[in-house]
Amino acid sequence: KQEVTQIPAALSVPEGENLVLNCSFTDSAIYNLQWFRQDPGKGLTSLLLIQSSQREQTSGRLNASLDKSSGRSTLYIAASQPGDSATYLCAVRPGGSEKLVFGKGTKLTVNP
């Protein structure tokens, strides 16, 4: 059974710092991996999707990498801003499945 773990559960950094969020998964047989952002009381916003054949994806200040063989992904946020404060969720789509398996998220606080 696929399991997704996100470490740390919470992270607080000063504005301007570069930071890395971690995601690990137990089964490397995946179609893709997605990173989402969730603001309090809101739905999820897709940030980046990495296909199983890809190593990384970039969007603005965000860069996500995927190492399928080791079951790891990282989300790199450059020059963090207070507006980046949110919970970041990682999800994998197991091979042969229509479902997403989610981690519990990392709650990020960027202090001005």
Binding mask 53-92 for another protein (x = CB under 8 A): ------------------------------------x-x-
Whether residue 89 contacts residue 44, with contact meaning beta carbons closer than 8 Å, is answered with yes
Q: Which is nearer to another protein, 20 or 29 (CB)?
A: 29
Query: To the nearest whole angstrom, how small is the minimum distance from the Cβ of residue 18 to another protein?
Result: 26
Count Cβ atoms within 10 A of the Cβ of residue 99 and give its class: 0-12 exposed, 13-18 middle, 19 or more buried: exposed
Give min distance, CB of 4 to another protein, in A.
7
DSSP letters spanning 35-78: EEEE-TTS-EEEEEEEETT-SEEEETTEEEEEETTTTEEEEEE-
In the complex, what is the shortest distance from the CB of residue 79 to another protein, in angstroms, rounded to a whole number? 25
Residue 6 CB, shortest distance to another protein, in Å, is 8
Residues numbered 12-31 forming contacts with another protein, rule: CB under 8 A: 31
Contact 2, 53 (CB under 8 A): no
Bridge partners of 47, per DSSP, are: none
Q: Which residues bind another protein (CB under 8 A)?
A: 4, 31-32, 34, 36, 41-46, 49, 51-52, 89, 91, 93, 95, 98-100, 102-105
